[in-house]
A and B are shown apart, each in its own frame.
Chain A
Amino acid sequence: MRRRRDGGFEQFYRSTKDDPVRALIVAVRDRALAEDALSEAYARALRRWDDVAEHPYPSGWVMRTALNYARSEGRIRARTSSDDVPEVPVSDDPPTDPELLRRILALPERQRDVVALRVVLDFDTSQTAQVLGIAEGTVTTHLFRALSRLEQEVASVAPKEAWT
């Protein structure tokens, strides 16, 4: 049975909206672009909700659409060097671990994509591979490299205590 068009979407949106923003900020390193892309992806999902609701991973559909949109906009800066650490986007709540976030944003693009999907969105390897259009082994490799590098770089940096 198909879900009721708007009601199902509303529930989907309410239950998924925060993590995709976080994942996209990791992937594209630009909050405005992340919000633009996600807004576009949700709008497209709503327009074809009957189909998206039947998708095995509606969240994956939204993420793939948002990532494609962001990259087709051509506004992603192609900085991949760890020496070129981008600024951390302004957050809604006080940042708790800005140094780690800076290091995440300094990862190569594909590693950021994998971290965004596997860690932030908690997708499994198969889902991540499907969304990114790469092999599962590639996902595993990128994730291992990214996490190893982050562990090494921030091992001695404790998270900042949250503001009260």
Chain B
Amino acid sequence: MNEIEERIRAAVRPYKASDALAPTPNERGGPAPRRRRLRLAGLVVAVMLVSGPAVASTTSFFTTAPDWVRGILSTVPEVDEANAIKVGVIDDHGTYAAPADDGGFCLYYAPDIRSGPPSVVRCVEGGHAANVIPLTLEMGGDGGFVVGRVLADGATSVDVTLPGRVRPITTPVRDQGFFVVKLPDASMQAVPHDGLQASLASLSATAKDALGEEIAMSNWDSTVSALDDGSGRLVEIHAPTDSPTDSPTNTLAYSP
């Protein structure tokens, strides 16, 4: 029986636990967070803080973007390319995010072996609002993820409600306020089934502090997707035609 047992272990080895499974400090004292539907089109954006982006609690988590990616991002105005991170890989394209001065962030998809260098960086606007979470749904053929950024001081975790999923996923707030949630299988199936607008309507994020108080949330205007042509601000870049390609692993993973 040993041979078949080894084959069974090998067959399930491609499955890995998402870091989003890890309980956060908020989950110590009470029941796990219940699903919240915060989506209200036209939700009033409350007080706008214009004192500049504060950085939420940080721990070393993401892989720093390589120099050649930071070089490309340095051509984008009002972007902190020095703190660019690797978010993950979609359809063989390495995906990088850099914090923007307005509290949002810009995403750069690296070329793969088949594609030419991209000509634009897509920026998700932050509006300098600490209590609003800019959020984007990124999805390819083999996987996808939600990327967001929390500016609110003291934010330690984010509850992310995803299309096609009953319970929110709670994930820590990381470097520069970034958080990333890999789309589970249920969401990958729900988005094409439900359509983009319905999927975005069911996508939301709520940031909490260490005491579990809600201190920031996404809203309709702050939730975008690369799948929507009119979504985000496109900044033209001039990447060299010999930009390195990212590792064509054909896997989806954000780097712990």
Q: Does chain A have a CB within 8 A of B198?
A: no
- Among residues of A, the one whose C-beta sits closest to the C-beta of B170 is A39
Query: Contacts A20-B17, A92-B253: A97 and B184 contacting too (C-beta < 8 A)?
Result: no
Residues of A within 8 A of B186 (CB): 31-32
Q: Does chain A have a CB within 8 A of B44?
A: no
A contact patch SS: helix
- Among residues of A, the one whose C-beta sits closest to the C-beta of B32 is A43
> Interface size (A, Cβ < 8 Å)?
46
Tell me, in angstroms, the Cα distance from A107 to B184 when the chains sit together.
24
> Would you call B5 and A119 a contact (CB within 8 A)?
yes
Q: Does chain A have a CB within 8 A of B117?
A: no
0/1 interface trace, chain A 62-95, chain B, CB 8 Å (1 if under): 0000000000010000000000000001111111
Tell me, in angstroms, the Cα distance from A151 to B184 when the chains sit together.
31
Q: Does chain B have a CB within 8 A of A47?
A: yes
Q: Does chain A have a CB within 8 A of B11?
A: yes
> Would you call B15 and A47 a contact (CB within 8 A)?
no
> Would you call B12 and A31 a contact (CB within 8 A)?
no
Which chain A residues numbered 13 to 40 have a C-beta less than 8 Å away from chain B? 13, 17-18, 20-23, 25-26, 30-32, 35-36, 38-40
> Would you call A120 and B184 a contact (CB within 8 A)?
no
Q: Does chain B have a CB within 8 A of A101?
A: yes
Give, as a whole number of angstroms, the nearest-CB distance from B187 to chain A: 8
> Would you call A40 and B7 a contact (CB within 8 A)?
no
> Would you call B8 and A43 a contact (CB within 8 A)?
no
> Would you call B251 and A94 a contact (CB within 8 A)?
yes
Q: Does chain B have a CB within 8 A of A52?
A: no
Give, as a whole number of angstroms, the nearest-CB distance from A41 to chain B: 9
- Among residues of B, the one whose C-beta sits closest to the C-beta of A97 is B11
Interface centre among A23, A89, A119 (most CB of B within 10 A): A119
> Would you call B29 and A147 a contact (CB within 8 A)?
no
Tell me, in angstroms, the Cα distance from A98 to B17 when the chains sit together.
19
Contact of A32 among B5, B185, B253 (CB under 8 A): B185
> Would you call B185 and A17 a contact (CB within 8 A)?
no
Residues of A within 8 A of B166 (CB): 36, 73
Q: Does chain A have a CB within 8 A of B213?
A: no
Residues of B within 8 A of A132 (CB): none
> Would you call B13 and A22 a contact (CB within 8 A)?
yes
Residues of A within 8 A of B12 (CB): 22-23, 25-26, 101, 120
Query: Contacts A47-B28, A47-B29: A92 and B8 contacting too (C-beta < 8 A)?
Result: no
Tell me, in angstroms, the Cα distance from A150 to B12 when the chains sit together.
15
Q: Does chain A have a CB within 8 A of B188?
A: yes
Query: Contacts A36-B166, A39-B21, A46-B27: A93 and B8 contacting too (C-beta < 8 A)?
Result: no
Residues of B within 8 A of A154 (CB): 4, 7
Contact of B8 among A30, A91, A104 (CB under 8 A): A104
Query: Contacts A17-B17, A92-B14, A92-B252: A32 and B4 contacting too (C-beta < 8 A)?
Result: no
Tell me, in angstroms, the Cα distance from A18 to B28 when the chains sit together.
22
> What are 29 of the A-B contact pairs (CB < 8 Å)?
A13-B23, A17-B22, A20-B17, A21-B16, A21-B21, A25-B15, A31-B185, A31-B186, A32-B185, A32-B186, A35-B18, A36-B167, A39-B170, A40-B32, A42-B22, A43-B32, A44-B32, A47-B30, A90-B185, A92-B253, A93-B14, A94-B250, A96-B10, A97-B7, A97-B10, A104-B11, A119-B8, A120-B8, A147-B4
Which 3 A/B pairs are nearest by Cβ-Cβ distance? A32-B186, A91-B14, A93-B14
Mark B residues whose CB is within 8 Å of A: 1, 4-5, 7-18, 20-23, 27-30, 32, 143, 164-167, 169-170, 184-188, 250-253
